[in-house]
Chains A and B, each alone.
Chain A
């Protein structure tokens, strides 16, 4: 076990370096954009405001002409203390406060979507590989590839127009019905589920194909391997071989993929959230960029970075724990 810990400690050092690089990029990228928050805000009023308002805006937002290095030092200093700064688009709310609610909805939407598409996709992939050459294998993979090649926001708009707007089976915006107070009562939970349905279906359909293909190809290799032949020779039932022997062995690469995908949960649902007006982090990012809200952009990038790094670390740890060959 000590060997495993050593490996992980070495990795952790690497992750710290990656985190620092990412944090620095998070700081630099927004500042490479032309324009500034005060001008953007002023422009929303298209000549209705006196031009003098610009100075007042810069003053309020605390925009300075300090050099990049001074700003970077301040940014790192505040970050170490856990202070993400004050949002400009949502002034005067602290970035952390703005982030936390949006983060919750995104995790609910994207997390559920990932688990569902992984579960369904992997199971379907196993079955398709098991019956390779059958009608399922002939139709399912091409069909999924076809659907997967649509831009998923287009799929989202289609679902919104048909099921939300024409048929009125599902609500067209928000995370729960207006007028409901958040709580654990069944009506509220039902409403959350209804609002989740369409964006969730979009994401699951869009993500399914990849999981099916990945599982199918690993399964086909595994099905030719010794253990499966051995189980067949023993006369074990097919269903038992499929799930207990073949699928189990083929699952490991997909599981790694799942861990990696976990990291992209926070950044990956931007367009779906925008189409369905879902109050998650994706839409927040759009608004931060439009308002040139550097603190909020940095905060969002930071959560995404940390999620990706954290998921990778987790995958590493799991792999090290499961596979003795990685411990050297």
Chain B
């Protein structure tokens, strides 16, 4: 009798084992028209659709799918795409900005969108410091509705770059948000927006799905019926899903992508990493001798083989930067003469050695660079541990400097520690990103301005290398106060000359925007043949251009 239960037990164990392993895993097919997107690495989803909270807290695409900005900056086309606003014009120099709003736009609950919503959103940001992530109220004096479809923004002082912060702002509905008592800790679980996708169809820790806005203002758009978001905790997991064709659109870094991703389905697996944003720089600390001399910084730059760095450290996904630090996204601003004179981004070790000799750092009998007192030149390249591309780039840089006779080494830090060192100016040489925007203004504000250079030890959010140029500040101000494109161009050209002459930071390569698409179920993804936007979903409001263009096959 005792044998029977034991036998049954064994049989059931065997049955379970067979059930688990031998039969194919349970899979629920994805209906046609449902676009699977992987944008943020997350273990579990938290239901947060508050677009005014600082970036990265609300689920993608809260700021570029549920809610919409007034206009979308498209760096590939170099143009501002009218969205909730159809027109922006300067009034009174660059002292005030008037926006004309699109007519016929409705919120997803059917209510009409008008100027009061825009004024309400900006006023809410003024009252709630935590909502003003772009710092508009540091430059803004007031905002008023001129009529139902015109809004006028007045600046504290003439400030042309302010247009980016204003038109990039997403707008929330007054008729619902004014009822909310504490919007700062409100997760906005049932969002009502103007965007193409607003209806949360289901929400779980592992997957959630977002359906179409029944009242969307673009006739017949979007063609995609809903967006699905599986949670991929790591980049590796997202890559596996991409390879398997489970994801239609992603913004992940994938190593050796032609072999790993394209190779599995060359007909449908596409990637495109256009580099039109900021540059990755090697920052020399401008307060640490001898890095305070422009010639020493230029000599270091000449020793670097940027093509090798791009090929080996970046898998050939990007191109070497030039001395202006302006990527292809700023083509209309770029000064050819500045690019030509900025020959210190060439690879020329002989010239580098000659410049170091001239700067007083000759070679001693052991092949070391020493100052006249005989002290050897030792420099450390600081980088983030675990960011394998940056670590590889730093190693190549250190080796190039060693060949020049400099005692160079690489030191990696945990991200938090690295960030703190950068902000406080506690480094000698360090890899870091530069600012980006719709004009070169934020780029040079971060690279040259005395205004952004904090004393060593005090945290600075940009200008980590501490370059102070009063000249640059005057040029930046000339740009800010002038709405005339020609005057603006003159200021930016002079800033490029200053950048090339001073070499405050050493541009290495352009930061690529990661974007992958599986075209087997949808058409209309951006590509080099149809470059209407960047393919990457990580680029903010540009995603709206893609989401409204895609069509199911």
Contact = CB atoms under 8 A, between A and B. Distances in A.
A59 B234 CA distance: 29
Nearest to B57: A91
Interface string A47-65: 1111111111101100000
Which secondary structure characterizes the binding site on chain A?
loop
A274 interface: yes
Contacts of B16: 193
A179 B207 contact: yes
Given A44-B56, A178-B207, A292-B416, A50 B240 contact: no
Nearest to A58: B130
A93 B27 CA distance: 30
Contact of B420 (A39, A173, A176, A190): A39
Contacts of B202: 181
B433 A47 contact: yes
Nearest to B230: A178
Contacts of A194: 20, 25-26
Contact of A173 (B22, B237, B277, B462): B237
B44 A98 contact: yes
Given A50-B165, A53-B54, A174 B416 contact: no
A177 B241 CA distance: 13
Interface string B332-353: 0000000000000000000000
A87 B452 CA distance: 31
Contact of A93 (B133, B187, B414, B420): B187
Interface in B399-453: 414-417, 419-420, 423, 433-436, 442, 446, 452
Interface residues of A, number: 65
B540 A39 contact: no
Interface in A137-179: 165, 168-179
A60 B415 contact: no
A54 B423 CA distance: 12
Interface stretch (A9-17, A259-267, A277-285): A277-285
B41 to A, nearest CB: 8
Nearest to B168: A50
Contacts of A51: 435, 446, 452, 461-462
A180 to B, nearest CB: 6
B1 interface: no
A314 interface: no
Contacts, number: 195
B134 interface: yes
A180 B433 CA distance: 42
Given A49-B133, A175-B206, A56 B54 contact: yes
B26 A47 contact: no
Given A33-B416, A47-B278, A177 B25 contact: yes
Contacts of B48: 90-93
Interface in B19-44: 19-22, 24-28, 30, 42-44
Given A39-B420, A48-B436, A60 B130 contact: yes
Task: State the main secondary structure of chain B at its contact with A.
Answer: loop
Contact of A92 (B26, B187, B231): B187
B204 interface: yes
A59 B130 contact: yes
Which of A49, A175, A190, A194 has the most CB atoms of chain B within a 10 A radius of its CB?
A49
Contacts of B435: 47, 51
A57 B42 CA distance: 20
Contacts of B25: 168-171, 177, 191, 194-195
Interface in A17-75: 33-36, 39-57, 59-60
Contacts of A98: 44, 46
B55 interface: yes
Given A49-B133, A193-B20, A287-B43, A41 B30 contact: no
B113 interface: no
Contact of B55 (A53, A92, A170): A53
Contacts of B207: 178-179
Contacts of B55: 41, 44-45, 49, 53
B214 interface: no
B46 A90 contact: yes
B184 interface: yes
A290 B41 CA distance: 12
A52 B134 CA distance: 6
B49 to A, nearest CB: 11
B185 A41 contact: no
Contacts of A252: none
B184 to A, nearest CB: 6
Contacts of B138: 52
A300 to B, nearest CB: 12
Contacts of A35: 415-417, 419-420
A36 B416 CA distance: 7
Contacts of B50: 92
A117 interface: no
B436 A168 contact: no
A191 B26 contact: yes
A86 B206 contact: no
A192 B446 CA distance: 51
Interface in B118-141: 129-135, 138
Contacts of A57: 54, 130, 133
B206 A174 contact: yes
B205 interface: yes
A101 interface: yes
A187 interface: yes
A177 B27 contact: yes
A42 B53 contact: no
A75 to B, nearest CB: 19
Contacts of B423: 39
8 contacts: A52-B134, A56-B129, A60-B184, A165-B240, A170-B20, A197-B20, A279-B205, A284-B43
Interface of B: 16, 19-22, 24-28, 30, 42-44, 46, 48, 50, 53-57, 129-135, 138, 165, 184-187, 202, 204-207, 228, 230-234, 237, 240-241, 277-278, 414-417, 419-420, 423, 433-436, 442, 446, 452, 461-462, 511, 539-540
Q: Which 9 A-B pairs have CB atoms at the shortest separation, nearest pair first?
A: A35-B416, A52-B135, A179-B28, A51-B461, A60-B130, A59-B130, A34-B417, A191-B26, A90-B46
Given A51-B461, A53-B133, A170-B25, 14 more contacts: A39-B416, A40-B415, A41-B54, A46-B278, A46-B511, A47-B278, A47-B462, A50-B165, A52-B138, A59-B130, A190-B26, A195-B25, A279-B205, A290-B415
